[in-house]
Amino acid sequence: MADVPEPLNPEKLDATSAAKDPLNRILRDAIREAVEVHKRMGNPIAIWKDGQVVIVPPEEIDTGEKVAEAGKGA
């Protein structure tokens, strides 16, 4: 069976990795923007949690405060 890549975890894309690799910053920003758009439009998102896919309704979507805090180098 082929190896399955690990899902992208935006919380792992911290300020240090973004400083080392501009692509990480671009990915983190794109993820945050996509999540915010989904929430504004009332669409759910799918996340990977505890080894399975979980559908998050729009009213429960974290709009990126954790990712934004990581980007501040806190």
SS3 state of residue 30: helix
Burial of 28 (0-12, 13-18, 19+ CB in 10 A): buried
Q: How many structural domains is the chain composed of?
A: 1
Q: Is residue 27 domain-resident?
A: yes
70/72 Cα distance (integer angstroms): 5
Instruction: Check residue 21 and give its pLDDT.
Output: 83
Average pLDDT, the chain: 76
Q: 15: pLDDT confidence band, cut at 50, 70 and 90?
A: low
**Residue 51: DSSP 8-state:** T
Q: Is residue 3 domain-resident?
A: no
Residue 54 is part of which domain span? Answer: 10-71
42/3 Cα distance (integer angstroms): 34
Q: Is residue 20 domain-resident?
A: yes
